[in-house]
Amino acid sequence: MSTHTSLVRAVPLQVVKELLVRDDAGRPAVPLTDGEGGSPLRCCLRRSRPGERIALVSYAPLRRWASETGVDPGAYDEQGPVFVHADGCAGPEDEGLPFTSAHRVLRRYSTDGRILGGRLVQAPEDFVPALREAFADPAVALVHVRAVEYGCFLYEVRRG
């Protein structure tokens, strides 16, 4: 999935498999059946459907990016809860930008894993311009999209 200068990344499926065994906080996943649906799945970037088996696991997105790139995220290393499919996932189904309908924070990171700033996006029509603005700064390597209500990590956008 891409925009003009970026690549949207869900939690990679291999990482989901690891998180289901032991998450980034060191705990095993506890799968459950989502009776109502609507949970934001970070493996396929869509909301869960009623009856799907999901798990809430702890995920450290900057730590995992830093380990790929050989960077030390220092104090910016954090982990938080994310929903993933518990019984396998085919990955993202759509080529668009997911989860843009509510308040979001776009948190910018440099190539050395430091926060360069963030931006609150309150209206869906402001999301793409805010993302373009983030990547207009050549120091920005990636952007984390987060929900305002809970501060949860939704997905990562990397410079493409």
Same domain for 147 and 113, yes or no, is yes
Q: pLDDT, tens digit, for every residue of 14-66?
A: 999 999 999 999 999 999 999 999 999 999 999 999 999 999 999 999 999 99
Q: Is residue 146 part of a domain?
A: yes
Q: Is residue 57 part of a domain?
A: yes
Q: pLDDT, tens digit, for every residue of 62-97?
A: 999 999 999 999 999 999 999 999 998 999 987 778
What φ, ψ does residue 28 adopt, rounded to 5°?
Answer: -75, 150
Q: Is the pLDDT of residue 129 over 60?
A: yes
Residue 149 structural domain:
104-159
Beta-carbon contacts of residue 56 (< 8 Å; ≥ 6 apart): 29, 30, 32, 81, 82, 83
Local confidence band at 2 (pLDDT 50, 70, 90 cut-offs) = very low
Q: How far apart are CA 79 and CA 88, in angstroms?
A: 22
Same domain for 21 and 58, yes or no, is yes
Q: How far apart are CA 135 and CA 159, in angstroms?
A: 7
Residues 83, 88, 94, CA angle at the centre, nearest 5°?
Answer: 70
